[in-house]
Structure 1
Amino acid sequence: MIYPINASDKLGFSEIKEFIKAKCLSEPGKEMVEKVQPQARFDQIDRFLRQTSEFKSIIQFDAALPVDHMYPIKPLAEKARVEGAFLLEEEFHRVLLSLRTVFAIIRYFNEREGQYPNLTLLFEHLPIEKSIVRSIEQIIDDKGKMKGNASRLLLALTQEILKAEQEARKRIDSIYKTAQGNGWTADGSLTIRDGRLCIPILAENKRKLKGLIHDESATGQTAYIEPEEVFHLNNKIRDLEFERRREVIRILISLTDELRPHIPLLFSYHGLLSKLDFVRAKALFAIDIEAEMPELSKDAEINLINARHPLLYLNSKKDGPTIVPLNIKIDDVQRVIVVSGPNAGGKSVCMKTVGLLQIMLQSGILIPAEATSKIGVFKQIFADIGDDQSIESDLSTYSAHLSKMKHFTEFANGKTLILIDEFGTGTDPLFGGPIAEAVLEVLNKQQIRGVVTTHYSNLKGFASNTEGLENASMLFDNVAMKPLYILQIGKPGSSYAFEIAQKIGLKKEIIHLAKQKIGTQQKKVDTLLVDLERDKKDVYDTKVAINKREKELERLNAEVQDLQQYLEENKRVILKEAKEEAKHILKTANKLIENTIADIKTVQADKEKTKDIRQQFESVTQQLTKQKVVAKPQVVQDAAVDNSVLEVGDWVRINDSNTEAQVLELAKNNVILAMGDLRTVQKRANVTKLRSKDAKKAAKKSTGAFSADSVSSFNPELDVRGMRTEDAIQKLEQVLDRAVMIGYPSLKIIHGKGDGILRKFIRDYLRKYSQVSRYEDEHPDRGGDGITYAYL
């Protein structure tokens, strides 16, 4: 499908695979990445892309998929398939962990039935055979060791060995004390020699103690003797251990025999884990390059919108230059795009971006382009990139190019995508140009699709006058003398050879002499192209400025409309409150008049008393007329702020406490906010989004108030050795709470081994603590079960 074989490597596909392999958790997953190749079947490509897109949604928006243990089951199943062979304890443990992962994954998708239909196809009709897990769990413990009660005989042998070891230790301790009392022993205590516990005896006393001499000191003054009584006991222990080992092997053989009928199912489980690991790695890579799933077409067409070269994009994320997106369309009308323009202007990157994204898409990998992009499926991808000269094959650079052109013209068709870099170079331009034009004419008649880069003027002219070919150029700022990396369809571009030479500092007389040596017609064409580029640049800059102005006007218009709506709402509120206040005043006034009349009647129109009543009436009337309708103060600038469009990272003000905070997560009607190290949950209605100016102030204030010192001063290692259980749990609770507040990922809890009581209480507490996702022992070389790691 791809010609030549190394074309995909030259386009950068091997590097893409290396990035994806780095995301895999298992070797089988990496092997699948290594084998991935572009496909030509539409339904297969569509399924692979949708699986990756669905896994990407799981990673970004759903609960984590349980993929803690993804050991390769296939080699273990192949070993177990052989009659008479048996799996070791640690191998059964790996099978057990992998099967638990498989069953957890199947349950995960069963709980989300219909939500991820394409991923569900990976394990459709795959049963959960719990009998395998139960059989292994009866024999193997969670540490990968055989349980002491795996069989009655094993339990009896284990107890007998323990009893014999205790007896041997008791006897040697007694003999050692007697030898010490008699003054026979050398300095030091009991020691191990040849795997046996021995007593250090002075050389002159070694005949006084019956036993086997295992070793002597370098000076010969000390002999290491195993007492005769203990020697026989240790031999008995050794015999019991051999018998126990035989019983262990018998149990493992029996368990392997039980597993053997399920070998085909184990292969299916292995395939599921490998495929999920593979799809997961593709999804993680898609997130890294901000990839989307475009619209897939059955026609041979390409319409890339805001596409980016994935490798350049990854480099740009590491403080590199900003990537200029590519927009290019290849269809029935413009089948071949002939790209010209200045050196180092981005022609080759444009062509390689098209080729690499096409290979990625047909390999089931999401591409860094808008989801509105539309890409078809090609049966063949031919590429001529770089120098393929070969001494062994007696090929020069140009011969290598011509051999590829021969293959292209013989096998290309309407379902072929052809990519040619620097078309026609490698030989005398006087002959290379016409040959390239002839090849392009033949390929065009075969209805191929493709991208061709060139500096040859005859190819630019041929593309302008030929149906199916379309000129394009990479824009160049001939004032600042730098490329813009923007593809412009419709017109050819100048190579800007003289302008670039002048900028580099080549002598003027050399440039002038060179201009005289080229033909007058060619000089006019090149000058015309330069002027055309300048005009295009002016038009482009004007278009950008107009678009910017239109967006600004749209924003201002939206703000004005929001403000008008706010004023209208306020106006209605003020009028309503004014009417209510007027009703209240009128009601109060009527009541006052009625009371005044009643008072006058009561005093029977007494002159002095009536005068006092009149003064009281006027005083109350003045107070009522002074009252004004006061609307609740509202901040006009917040009118245009819409809380319904809150996003993660926005700054808001909590209405109840007038406190500023930053949005961490959005969940239906609630928002999770961060105030420095603290976290809080508020209703959306109880927060007001800050404008950009106020948000910057809040962010600056937050940075000053909550520095990184609080995080850097936090110690994730907690030592509770020697503490009482209550004190240890209290200390652990404080450290856990602080770790959750600052978002720390894990804690190291040193509790020691001892009788294991403190370890048990600590783990019981961690199990109840909802923020702890899991916990595990330290590596045996660094403390083992005396240290617990808790992951948040």
Structure 2
Amino acid sequence: MLYPENSIDKLGFTEVKELIKAHCLSIMGQQMVDKIQVMSNFDLISKFLSQASEFKNILQNDAALPITHFYDLKALANKARLEGAFLTEEEFFQVYASLNTVFAVIAYFNEREGQYPNLEALFEHLPIEKSIIRKIEQVIDTKGKIKSNASRDLADITAGIAKAEQDARRKIDQIYKNAISNNWTADGSLTVRDGRLCIPILAENKRKLKGFVHDESASGQTVYMEPEEVFTLNNRIRDLEFERRREIVKILTGLTDELRPYVTLLLSYHGLLTKLDFVRAKALFAIDIEGEMPQVVNEPKLKLVNARHPLLFLNFKKEHKTVVPLNVQIDDSTRIVVVSGPNAGGKSVCMKTVGLLQLMVQAGLLIPVDEASVVGVFRLFFVDIGDDQSIESDLSTYSAHLSKMKNFVENANAKSLILIDEFGTGTDPQFGGPIAEAVLESLNHKKVRGMVTTHYSNLKIFAGSAEGIENASMLFNNVEMKPLYMLEVGKPGSSYAFEIAQKIGLPQQVLSLAKNKISSGQKSVDTLLVGLEREKKEILDTRLKLDRQQRQVDTLLAENEKLKSYLEENKKVLIREARDEAKNIILNANKLVENTIAEIKNSNADKVKTKDLRETLNKELEKNTIKPAVTKSNPLDEEIKVGDWVKLIDSETSGQVLEIVKDNVIIAIGDLRTVAKRKRVQKIAKSTVPKEVRRSMSGSTSDMASFSPEIDVRGMRTEDALANIERLFDRAVMMSYGTLKIIHGKGDGILRKMIRQYLKKYEQVDRLEDEHADRGGDGITYVYLR
């Protein structure tokens, strides 16, 4: 029950229904939307919500439901029910198209059996009678016209009409040519008059041709005649057309008689199509408002998480603005929420949001909230919004309010939801406040649930001390004097009457006079509330600032971890190369020492020869020993630019700067790339860098410029081909190339097989693919690197 009845309009539920109707494909679906009612049956509410949620899932995540045609099958079935009546060609085509849609929908859900149980229940136990379609297909074609061979008689009549039309055309062409040769005709060609094909004849020659005059030109110089012989043939054609029409009626009547036993089934199919259109419209509206299915419980309670008013959400969406979400809870411990705060602060919108969303859920509609929200079921709704002043009933604004309060107190119970806007207004606050407090106490005693908005201080004080009633306020920025539209539960809010009046520009002497007229107790209460609001605003700002800082810290930590892993990866590569280089140096040194010893033995330990050999040995050893670069001390804050040579402070590794990103320096060390912090590198002179390092860098740079990710190994032996591919592969990995192209030819496919087996052993290889068939096919292999 909803009291008063116009509460549906005041909460915006009627407007919601109109928006849903706009998504319907059929009048039948729109009629179902008009019949939407607020229910209290928990099972029905859950079923309708689940249907809308499942359809929304189909629209967003599954293949499109094959809904193509929506016709009023009910009207067609009722017409077919009458003895002697028959459906027209177009009406049979509508039946045919509708049945195809029904069967396609049923097949769609059968393929997904168990995936959408609540939608499947719409056609549970509904038989698929395809014989109806087959009967219609024998008579009606795919364009909705009756087939020329629907019956033997119709085929004969149709053939007779075609022959007669050919004879008539042949005859009139013959007469027309004869008239032209005799110069009887006027300018122009054969033309149609009164549905008959006529010859334009000069008026002076009209008696030379036997026939019937159907029309004449405006000047009277030309008459349009139908020759006598053609007239007879055309009459034959018309007789055949009448005969054809009678045969069509006979066929359609017979087909309607065959359809009549299925009228009840057609009505069931109509119900399925109507319900699908209805549920589809609800799902589309849910997508518009970003609606979700909350948890529904069979108790008079609610917990809204990040709720938005759907109509306000749609309006803001058009303007590319966002709605401040609402979080509120009404249950056994917090039965009534008393919302206070400044005018235009959002109190009424907050209350209307709660009321409208509750109505929508109990009408089976998805609502714009988080899925964590919990919505219960209320048996009765009592709403007091607006003044409802009535001249006819001799009711003043306050009388109308009191009349509603009387009804609320007498009929509300623990399963009722009350919504009262501006509680207690309309009369002298000195008396209206106590009456409102008494009504609130009475409603609380009956354990009624709901939300009220007020400016009265006595109601705020009562809510602060009464069990089951909770104060709440709409947050307000008292520095900028702007509402924040956020609901804060637990504390009352100030009306900011003097602050708003001051901002508007009310004279200061008037404000001072007003402040002196209020009681000291009221003044202290309002001052306390303003202070609380200020503290809440500061806490909120601090919390937002901390959240922002935490996000920044998380981002920096993630970047640090990524940089650390990158450095660790390059560190392993550098160590491996250093070991290889050291190994080569030792091998070369050993060979040099052995060769020197051999030469000393061969020279029989000649002193001069031995001395020369020792000097040569020392020089070669010094050349192969990497000495720490001696550099002049440079201040750490010396500017480093791209192209400068630097070395890592904690090692003797040197390289050239490729890029500077914030406080990170990207360095090229041979074919490697590494990243280091600015404070960990030191600029050095290019002359202090060993020539071998400079040559390797220039060689690496030129190699990169000349590097080609394509190789042709056709005609090579397998061993040579693999060796060349290995060198290309190593360079590609070092230079971070993503793709290689290997041209090996087709032949017997042995070389291709060996190459691919060889490449698959590398973990850097992501996949191998053939070239396009038009450009070489399996004679070319593309190698994609990770």
> How high is the TM-score relative to the length of structure 2?
0.76
Distance in 2 (CA, whole Å) between partners of 1:614 and 1:314 is 91
How many angstroms does 1:558 deviate by? 3.3
Identity %: 63
Distance in 1 (CA, whole Å) between partners of 2:198 and 2:224 is 6
User: Cα deviation per residue 1:311-370 (whole Å; 9 max; x = unaligned)?
Assistant: 111111122543111111111111100001100000000000001111111111111111
| 2:383 aligned residue | 383
Q: For the structure 1 residues 263 and 616, does the alpha-carbon distance in structure 2 shift closer, same or farther, using more than 3 Å as the test?
A: farther
- Return the letter of the residue paired with 1:363: A
Distance in 1 (CA, whole Å) between partners of 2:52 and 2:248 is 45
Q: For the structure 1 residues 635 and 6, does the alpha-carbon distance in structure 2 shift closer, same or farther, using more than 3 Å as the test?
A: farther
Contact residue 382 and residue 419 of structure 1 kept, 8 A: yes
Distance in 1 (CA, whole Å) between partners of 2:507 and 2:104 is 73
How many angstroms does 1:403 deviate by? 1.8
Contact residue 596 and residue 617 of structure 1 kept, 8 A: no
How many angstroms does 1:616 deviate by? 10
Contact residue 338 and residue 454 of structure 2 kept, 8 A: yes
Residue range with higher mean Cα deviation, 353-362 or 214-223: 214-223
Q: For the structure 1 residues 262 and 602, does the alpha-carbon distance in structure 2 shift closer, same or farther, using more than 3 Å as the test?
A: farther
- Return the letter of the residue paired with 2:391: I
| 1:539 aligned residue | 539
Distance in 1 (CA, whole Å) between partners of 2:386 and 2:739 is 66
1:656 is aligned, of 700, 721, 738, to 738
Distance in 2 (CA, whole Å) between partners of 1:330 and 1:3 is 20
- Return the letter of the residue paired with 2:435: I
| 1:116 aligned residue | 116
Distance in 2 (CA, whole Å) between partners of 1:14 and 1:4 is 14
| 1:442 aligned residue | 442
Q: For the structure 1 residues 173 and 262, does the alpha-carbon distance in structure 2 shift closer, same or farther, using more than 3 Å as the test?
A: same
Distance in 1 (CA, whole Å) between partners of 2:53 and 2:577 is 55
Contact residue 305 and residue 369 of structure 2 kept, 8 A: yes
| 1:232 aligned residue | 232
How many angstroms does 1:556 deviate by? 2.6
- Return the letter of the residue paired with 1:100: N
Distance in 1 (CA, whole Å) between partners of 2:13 and 2:73 is 29
| 1:147 aligned residue | 147
Distance in 1 (CA, whole Å) between partners of 2:203 and 2:597 is 132
Residue range with higher mean Cα deviation, 377-386 or 614-623: 614-623
Q: For the structure 1 residues 265 and 602, does the alpha-carbon distance in structure 2 shift closer, same or farther, using more than 3 Å as the test?
A: farther
Secondary structure of the structure 2 residue equivalent to 1:291? coil
Q: For the structure 1 residues 588 and 229, does the alpha-carbon distance in structure 2 shift closer, same or farther, using more than 3 Å as the test?
A: farther
Q: For the structure 1 residues 582 and 630, does the alpha-carbon distance in structure 2 shift closer, same or farther, using more than 3 Å as the test?
A: farther
Secondary structure of the structure 1 residue equivalent to 2:239? helix
Distance in 2 (CA, whole Å) between partners of 1:187 and 1:367 is 74
| 1:300 aligned residue | 300
- Return the letter of the residue paired with 1:323: V
- Return the letter of the residue paired with 1:73: L
Distance in 1 (CA, whole Å) between partners of 2:361 and 2:344 is 27
Secondary structure of the structure 1 residue equivalent to 2:296? strand
How many angstroms does 1:595 deviate by? 9.0
Q: Alignment length, in residue pairs?
A: 645
Secondary structure of the structure 2 residue equivalent to 1:483? strand
Q: For the structure 1 residues 685 and 397, does the alpha-carbon distance in structure 2 shift closer, same or farther, using more than 3 Å as the test?
A: farther
1:261 to 2:261 alignment: yes
Matches within 5 A, 1:457-496: 457-496=457-496
| 1:691 aligned residue | none
| 2:561 aligned residue | 561
How many angstroms does 1:159 deviate by? 1.7
Secondary structure of the structure 2 residue equivalent to 1:633? strand
Secondary structure of the structure 2 residue equivalent to 1:488? strand
1:19 to 2:19 alignment: yes
Distance in 2 (CA, whole Å) between partners of 1:177 and 1:489 is 98
| 1:87 aligned residue | 87
Distance in 2 (CA, whole Å) between partners of 1:294 and 1:467 is 28
Secondary structure of the structure 2 residue equivalent to 1:38? coil
How many angstroms does 1:486 deviate by? 1.0
Structure with max Cα Rg: 2
Contact residue 324 and residue 486 of structure 1 kept, 8 A: yes
Distance in 1 (CA, whole Å) between partners of 2:192 and 2:601 is 121
Secondary structure of the structure 2 residue equivalent to 1:128? coil
How many angstroms does 1:459 deviate by? 1.0
User: Cα deviation per residue 1:393-437 (whole Å; 9 max; x = unaligned)?
Assistant: 222222221222122112211111111101111222222211111
Q: For the structure 1 residues 24 and 609, does the alpha-carbon distance in structure 2 shift closer, same or farther, using more than 3 Å as the test?
A: farther
- Return the letter of the residue paired with 1:64: A
Contact residue 336 and residue 451 of structure 2 kept, 8 A: yes
Distance in 2 (CA, whole Å) between partners of 1:93 and 1:531 is 74
Distance in 2 (CA, whole Å) between partners of 1:454 and 1:235 is 87
Contact residue 89 and residue 146 of structure 1 kept, 8 A: yes
- Return the letter of the residue paired with 1:266: L
Distance in 1 (CA, whole Å) between partners of 2:502 and 2:765 is 63
Structure 1 unmatched ranges of 5 or more: 638-653, 659-683, 688-792
| 1:787 aligned residue | none
| 2:673 aligned residue | 633
Q: For the structure 1 residues 295 and 562, does the alpha-carbon distance in structure 2 shift closer, same or farther, using more than 3 Å as the test?
A: farther
Q: For the structure 1 residues 298 and 583, does the alpha-carbon distance in structure 2 shift closer, same or farther, using more than 3 Å as the test?
A: farther
| 1:285 aligned residue | 285
How many angstroms does 1:602 deviate by? 12
- Return the letter of the residue paired with 2:280: R
How many angstroms does 1:655 deviate by? 7.1
| 2:663 aligned residue | none
Secondary structure of the structure 2 residue equivalent to 1:200? strand
Secondary structure of the structure 2 residue equivalent to 1:140? coil
| 2:392 aligned residue | 392
Distance in 2 (CA, whole Å) between partners of 1:237 and 1:310 is 65
Distance in 2 (CA, whole Å) between partners of 1:499 and 1:685 is 71
| 1:174 aligned residue | 174
| 2:323 aligned residue | 323
Q: For the structure 1 residues 82 and 508, does the alpha-carbon distance in structure 2 shift closer, same or farther, using more than 3 Å as the test?
A: same
Matches within 5 A, 1:716-731: none
How many angstroms does 1:11 deviate by? 0.7
Distance in 2 (CA, whole Å) between partners of 1:599 and 1:427 is 123
Distance in 1 (CA, whole Å) between partners of 2:615 and 2:158 is 112
Distance in 2 (CA, whole Å) between partners of 1:545 and 1:134 is 71
How many angstroms does 1:570 deviate by? 4.1
Secondary structure of the structure 1 residue equivalent to 2:673? coil
Contact residue 656 and residue 686 of structure 1 kept, 8 A: no
Contact residue 655 and residue 686 of structure 1 kept, 8 A: no
Contact residue 89 and residue 140 of structure 1 kept, 8 A: yes
Distance in 2 (CA, whole Å) between partners of 1:175 and 1:509 is 109
How many angstroms does 1:186 deviate by? 2.9
Distance in 2 (CA, whole Å) between partners of 1:620 and 1:96 is 97
User: Cα deviation per residue 1:169-207 (whole Å; 9 max; x = unaligned)?
Assistant: 111122122223323333332222221112222333322
Q: For the structure 1 residues 23 and 597, does the alpha-carbon distance in structure 2 shift closer, same or farther, using more than 3 Å as the test?
A: farther
Q: For the structure 1 residues 407 and 587, does the alpha-carbon distance in structure 2 shift closer, same or farther, using more than 3 Å as the test?
A: farther
Matches within 5 A, 1:121-140: 121-140=121-140
Q: For the structure 1 residues 624 and 13, does the alpha-carbon distance in structure 2 shift closer, same or farther, using more than 3 Å as the test?
A: farther
| 2:504 aligned residue | 504
Contact residue 600 and residue 609 of structure 2 kept, 8 A: no
Contact residue 303 and residue 329 of structure 2 kept, 8 A: yes
How many angstroms does 1:621 deviate by? 9.9
Secondary structure of the structure 2 residue equivalent to 1:139? coil
- Return the letter of the residue paired with 1:633: R
Residue range with higher mean Cα deviation, 4-13 or 511-520: 511-520
Secondary structure of the structure 1 residue equivalent to 2:201? strand
- Return the letter of the residue paired with 1:246: R
- Return the letter of the residue paired with 2:279: V
Q: For the structure 1 residues 599 and 280, does the alpha-carbon distance in structure 2 shift closer, same or farther, using more than 3 Å as the test?
A: farther
- Return the letter of the residue paired with 1:478: N
- Return the letter of the residue paired with 2:5: I
Q: For the structure 1 residues 577 and 62, does the alpha-carbon distance in structure 2 shift closer, same or farther, using more than 3 Å as the test?
A: farther
